[in-house]
C-alpha cells in the first residue's frame, strides 16, 4: 500500500518535471513583475511572494520589480484627512498627495519589498523612477473624461500626474547584468526635476518594452480578467491583444482594469511576448503561472 508521503513526493517530482522545460526556456530571459499596493500591504503575503521571486531569480531568470502603492497611499490620505479623487483608475495628485506618494512609494513600500527579498538572499536594489533618470516624464495635460453612465464630458486636471516620455534602461541593464534585482517605485521626473506620480502598470509596461522582456507579469488582488465580475466561470485564461481592446471599447472592462489593458495591448504591439494578470495574494500563483501548463491567471498574447 502506498503511503501519503510517497504520493506527496511523487506529486512534487511530477511538478519538477513539468517545470524543467520552462526553466530551461526562460533562463537568461527578463521578466518585469509589477506588484500592486494590495499585494505588498500584508507582511506574510509579501514574504511568500518574495520566496517565489527568489526562486525565479535562483534559476537564472532576470527579474525587474515595479510597484505602486495606491492602497497604502489612500489609507495615509484618509488618516491625514487629504481627500482623494480617482477617475477611470487614475488618481488626481495634488501637492499634498504627491508628498505622501514620495513617502509611501519610494520609502516604506520599497524598503519592505527589499527587506523581504533580503531575507531570501536576493541581492535587490531599491530605486524610484527618478534614480538614474530611469523614468523621464512630463506633466499630464488636462484631459477630457466621459462619464460612462451619463455620457457627460468633463475636463480633468490630474495635477502632479506624469506621462512617460522615455525610459532610460542604462542603470537597470548594469544591475541586471551583474546579478542584482532592481525594485522600482512608480515615480518619475522631468528635466527640471519636477517629480510626478505615474501609473505603475504604465511604467512596468514601458520598462518591459525597453528591456525587451519576455514577460510582463501584473500581480494584483484579482486573479485574471472576467467577462462578468464575481462570476468565476466567466474568467478568461487566454486572450489576444485585439480581444483585450474590445473589452475596453465595449465597456466590459471597468475601473483600474482599463489602464491595465490599455498598457498591455500597447506593449504587445511593441515586442513583449506575453503579459499575465494574476493574483498576488494566492500562494504560488506566480510559480504556477510560469512553470505549469495550466497557469492560474489570464495570459494576453499579441
pLDDT tens-digit readout, 250-290: 888 877 778 778 888 888 988 888 999 999 999 999 999 99
Residue 13 domain-assigned (yes or no)? no
Dump pLDDT digits (tens) for 89-135. Answer: 789 999 999 999 999 999 999 999 999 999 999 999 999 999 999 99
Q: What is the mean pLDDT of residues 35-46?
A: 92
Which structural domain, as residue segments, surrounds residue 271? Answer: 27-301
Contacts 24+ apart (CB under 8 A), 13-22: 15/291, 15/292, 18/291, 18/292, 18/293, 19/291, 19/292, 22/290, 22/291
Asked if residue 224 has pLDDT above 60, the reply is yes
What is the structure's pLDDT at 2?
A: 58
For position 118, which CATH number holds?
A: 3.40.1160.10
What is the structure's pLDDT at 131?
A: 97
Helix-helix angle 257-269:241-249, to 10 degrees: 150
Residue 120 domain-assigned (yes or no)? yes
Who wins on pLDDT, 26 or 236?
26
What is the structure's pLDDT at 66?
A: 98
Phi, psi of 283, deg, nearest 5 = -55, 135
Residue 172 domain-assigned (yes or no)? yes
What is the structure's pLDDT at 236?
A: 86
Asked if residue 152 has pLDDT above 80, the reply is yes
What is the structure's pLDDT at 135?
A: 98
Whole-number average pLDDT of the chain: 91
Residue 5 domain-assigned (yes or no)? no
Name the grid cell of 6.
510517497
The number of domains in the chain is 1
Helix-helix angle 43-58:110-118, to 10 degrees: 60
If pLDDT is split at 50, 70 and 90, which confidence band does 61 have?
Answer: very high
Residue 2 domain-assigned (yes or no)? no
If pLDDT is split at 50, 70 and 90, which confidence band does 235 have?
Answer: confident
Percentage of the chain exceeding pLDDT 90: 66
Residue 188 domain-assigned (yes or no)? yes
What is the structure's pLDDT at 263?
A: 80
If pLDDT is split at 50, 70 and 90, which confidence band does 1 have?
Answer: low
Amino acid at each position: 500500500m502506498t503511503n501519503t508521503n510517497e504520493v506527496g513526493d511523487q506529486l512534487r517530482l511530477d511538478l519538477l518535471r513539468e517545470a524543467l522545460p520552462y526553466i530551461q526556456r526562460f533562463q537568461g530571459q527578463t521578466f518585469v513583475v509589477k506588484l500592486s499596493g494590495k499585494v505588498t500591504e500584508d507582511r506574510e503575503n509579501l514574504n511568500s511572494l518574495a520566496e517565489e521571486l527568489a526562486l525565479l531569480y535562483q534559476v537564472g531568470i532576470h527579474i525587474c520589480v515595479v510597484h505602486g502603492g495606491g492602497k497604502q497611499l489612500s489609507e495615509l490620505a484618509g488618516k491625514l484627512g487629504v481627500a482623494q479623487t480617482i477617475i477611470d483608475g487614475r488618481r488626481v495628485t495634488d501637492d499634498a498627495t504627491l508628498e505622501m506618494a514620495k513617502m509611501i512609494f519610494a520609502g516604506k513600500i520599497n524598503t519592505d519589498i527589499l527587506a523581504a527579498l533580503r531575507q531570501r538572499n536576493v541581492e535587490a536594489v531599491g530605486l524610484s523612477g527618478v534614480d538614474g533618470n530611469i523614468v523621464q516624464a512630463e506633466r499630464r495635460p488636462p484631459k477630457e473624461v466621459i462619464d460612462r453612465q451619463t455620457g457627460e464630458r468633463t475636463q480633468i486636471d490630474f495635477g502632479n500626474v506624469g506621462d512617460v516620455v522615455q525610459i532610460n534602461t542604462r542603470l537597470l541593464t548594469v544591475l541586471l547584468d551583474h546579478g542584482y534585482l532592481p525594485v522600482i517605485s512608480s515615480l518619475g521626473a522631468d528635466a527640471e526635476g519636477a517629480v510626478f506620480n505615474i501609473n505603475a502598470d504604465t511604467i512596468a509596461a514601458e520598462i518591459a518594452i525597453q528591456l525587451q522582456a519576455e514577460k510582463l507579469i501584473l500581480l494584483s488582488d484579482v486573479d485574471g480578467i472576467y467577462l462578468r465580475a464575481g462570476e468565476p466561470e466567466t474568467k478568461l485564461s487566454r486572450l489576444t491583444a485585439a480581444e483585450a481592446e474590445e473589452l475596453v471599447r465595449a465597456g466590459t472592462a471597468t475601473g483600474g482594469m482599463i489602464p491595465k489593458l490599455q498598457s498591455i495591448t500597447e506593449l504587445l504591439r511593441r515586442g513583449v511576448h506575453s503579459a499575465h494578470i494574476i493574483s498576488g495574494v494566492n500562494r504560488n500563483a506566480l510559480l504556477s503561472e510560469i512553470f505549469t501548463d495550466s497557469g492560474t491567471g489570464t495570459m494576453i498574447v499579441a
